[in-house]
Structure 1
Amino acid sequence: MASNHNEKNDLNVLHPHISPTSMYLKVAAALFALTILTVVAHQFHEALGSFAGPIAFAIAAVKACLVLLYFMHLKDDNNMNRAIFASGFFFLVVLLLFSVIDIATRVLEVSPL
């Protein structure tokens, strides 16, 4: 009887990614620290001025990357899944960019009435 076992068929087999508990605890501690940093940055939002928003978004982006890489196991996944996630974020940036361009190029019309 012929065997269907070869390297090509192994590509479709899911292999578990076993991560140590200490890694999850370190990532959770980093997320907690970044949350505290977000709260502290908000306390100084008047001193930071227009940089307060981008700082908060940067902290949120780092937290999202930690969740994606470690809790969603993208760190151990293949490059195709990474590309799919990256394309989603790319199109989100394009959508936000078009929204910003739309708002920035509007002309205020004053009604004569």
Structure 2
Amino acid sequence: MENEKHHIVPYRVYAIVLLVLVVLTFLSIAITDIELGSYTVVGALLLASIKSSLVLTYFMHLKFDQPYIRIMVGFVLAVFIAVVIVTFFDYSFR
């Protein structure tokens, strides 16, 4: 822990990311009013994945972590995506 370099992120970056997260939250609320049929869920999941990637990258400092931690997070995300895809296939073929 003592050999690690500390990174300094300006508050402006956090403010911009927070503003983008707020805008995306309002978009995810607004997408429920738009009649997209079955694509409404896809749009909501897309917005949620963008928001989660922003939180992981900036607020949880994944951008500055070691590569093996990124690989572990990527593996967890891949498993989550596989579970979501299997769930959608199960729902669509019932």
Shorter-chain TM-score: which interval? 0.7 to 0.9
Q: If the length of structure 2 is used for normalisation, what is the TM-score?
A: 0.85
What is the CA deviation profile of residues 50-75 of structure 1, one whole-angstrom value per residue up to 9, with x for unaligned ones?
Answer: 11000000000000000000001111
**Aligned counterpart in structure 2 of residue 24 of structure 1, from 14, 35, 38:** 14
| 1: CA distance, partners of 2:89 / 2:41 | 18
Unaligned runs of 5+ in 2: none
Letter in 2 for 1:67: V
Unaligned runs of 5+ in 1: 1-10, 107-113
**Aligned counterpart in structure 2 of residue 54 of structure 1, from 42, 46, 49:** 42
How far residue 99 of structure 1 moved from its aligned partner, in angstroms, is 4.0
Letter in 2 for 1:62: I
- What's 1:89 paired with? 77
Q: Kindly report which structure 2 residues correspond to 1:64-103, keeping only aligned pairs within 5 A, or say none.
A: 64-102=52-90
Identity %: 30
How far residue 16 of structure 1 moved from its aligned partner, in angstroms, is 1.6
How far residue 93 of structure 1 moved from its aligned partner, in angstroms, is 2.2
For 2:64, what is the secondary structure of its paired residue? coil
| 1: CA distance, partners of 2:25 / 2:42 | 15
- Bigger CA radius of gyration: 1
Q: If the length of structure 1 is used for normalisation, what is the TM-score?
A: 0.72
Q: How many residues align?
A: 94
Distance 1:72 1:51, change over 3 A: same
- What's 2:3 paired with? 13
Distance 1:54 1:104, change over 3 A: closer
Letter in 2 for 1:59: L
